[in-house]
Amino acid sequence: MLPTGYDGAKEKISVLAPIGAALLGLTIGQSMQWPGPNGKKLQVTITAVDYQPERAGNYQS
């Protein structure tokens, strides 16, 4: 099952992907690097967070 709103767009990363899970907790403007294929470094910078249920007070039990 994919997260709500995930449409596979190039600029989106699923929290279910290993790198997506590693990004949890970063805030807008923060970056992270990791080794990609053939040892090439990949980098992602958080540019937006569309919706954070917990920040909005919407807690799931």
**Domain range list for the chain:** 1-51
Greatest extent of the chain over all pairs of C-alpha atoms, in Å:
43
pLDDT (0 to 100) of residue 32? 92
pLDDT per residue as tens, the chain (61 positions):
566 666 767 777 777 888 888 888 898 999 999 888 888 998 989 988 877 777 778 877 6
Burial 23-52 (b: 16+ CB within 10 A, else e): beeeeeeeeeeeeeeeeeeeebeeeeeeee
pLDDT (0 to 100) of residue 1? 56
pLDDT (0 to 100) of residue 50? 77
**Nearest CA-CA partner of 2 in 14, 13, 12, 11:** 14
The CATH fold of domain 1-51? Chitinase A; domain 3 (3.10.50)
